Chain A
Amino acid sequence: MKNTDMVVVGGGAAGMAASIEAACAGAEVVLIDENERPGGQLFKQIHKFFGSEVHRAGIRGIHIGRDLLKEAEEAGVQVRLNTVVYGFFPDKCLGLMCNQHTEELQAKMIILATGASENVLAFPGWTLPGVMGAGAAQTLINIHRVLPGRSVLMVGAGNVGLIVSYQLLQAGAEVVAVVEGLPTISGYGVHASKIRRAGVPIFTGHTILRAEGKESVERVVIAAVDKSWQPLAGTEKAFEVDTVCLAVGLSPLAELAWMAGCQFIYIPEIGGWVPVHDENMETSVPGIYVAGDLAGIEEASTAMEEGRLAGLAAAEALGCLSSKDGRARKAEVWERLAALRIGSFGHGRALAMEKILRAKGVG
């Protein structure tokens, strides 16, 4: 069986950042991604990021993805694409599959950065062609340059729903409305303003009742809901659309962490079941770290910082960094993470992180 210093599973923002830090510190790093090309969500993000210069504010996700990939290659990271980690075996042994061939790879340190997947909302007609995840629509328009349909109903007014609505408009689709079950939108105001200015109504306190059509979506019916999400009679509105996008949250892709025996904690605000980790991003299993959306749904900027943190911590544990250097470098990242988790949006996440740290302390 082959072995290596460090395996990073998942080549998105967090995974690439982790690989770069660890490889620059001198570790032998293998970065594994199941897709044809790494970058995860970054290659779908055509809008400009917020934040400070170190978080590459004003740069589009697609360009950040491209830059990180170059840095990883220059740092000597071994990138294995089209490769799935299908199993987690004792002694930090991973089962890899590529093109119907399997192999095992053992690592001293493992960083799981497998990201998150879209949640779904079930309603009559949800299995009809034309109903898809908002992320799915984003993949189609921004990566594959094909429209999912001509007219869209967006379900969910969090950041994903608002951003993808705008991107659908940029791609040439019509967004007839956004529906959001909560009384207020949960995404950033700046995104909501952009689509409102473009004439897209946002119906808060509304949900989708059903999608109708013979072979694919032809029409949807929405309605206002009360506090218990029950539809209010007489408030139905129908729209002729051929596409429904579901932007109803993300959940960590945590199968490998469960398989590895990591302890989990349930925090709905950041995606539900998340692996418990300490301030070094290390889980309850020594030598296994987590970073990015897997460790709690957040943003690309925090994903990159958590990736850096995990990479540094794992490199230090390998002996590639002295504990003095490790501490100093990690302190910089902790400071940047704290700065990202301020304000009304960041505060909730900061509280969630505190819950996680307390759980690790106890467990």
Chain B
Amino acid sequence: MKVDDLIICRCEEVTEGEIKEAIRLGLTTMSEVKWLTRAGMGLCQGKTCGRLVMSILVRETNQPPDEVKPPTFRPPTRVMALGALANGEKETE
């Protein structure tokens, strides 16, 4: 398997190649990479791939690790049915 074919975001099946391509286009933050590639936007919301994407960013952009922060966290911390927020029972994915 080519290095670039390695799956990094398991939920959205985003590969290392796609992440590196986003970085080549000039993206330098976790949030930007997430928005363009969808890595971290799947069902697990980046809980599994977060650190992997961070280390690829650090390696490819030569930023020190303490300057690559996770993307902004907004509620909800878990994927929820919209109905739950309205205290309803109906599922509205």
A residues within 8 Å of B by Cβ?
84-89, 95, 97, 100-102, 117, 119-120, 122-124, 126-127, 210, 251, 255-256, 258-259, 264-266, 268, 272-273
Contacts and interface: CB of A to CB of B under 8 A. Distances in A.
A127 B15 CA distance: 12
Contacts of A95: 75-76
B77 interface: yes
B70 A258 contact: yes
Given A86-B80, A97-B78, A97-B84, A120 B52 contact: yes
Contact of B84 (A100, A124, A256): A100
Interface of B: 1, 5-8, 10, 16, 47-49, 51-52, 65-66, 69-70, 72-78, 80-81, 83-85, 87, 89
A102 B85 contact: yes
A86 B8 contact: no
B66 A87 contact: no
Nearest to A87: B75
Given A100-B89, A102-B84, A102-B85, A266 B77 contact: no
Closest 5 CB pairs of A and B: A87-B75, A266-B66, A86-B76, A124-B1, A100-B84
A126 B80 contact: no
B37 to A, nearest CB: 15
A84 B65 contact: no
A100 B81 contact: yes
A32 B5 CA distance: 41
Nearest to A123: B6
A191 to B, nearest CB: 25
Contacts of A259: 73-75, 77
B77 A122 contact: no
5 contacts: A97-B76, A122-B7, A251-B51, A258-B73, A259-B74
A194 B18 CA distance: 43
B51 A264 contact: no
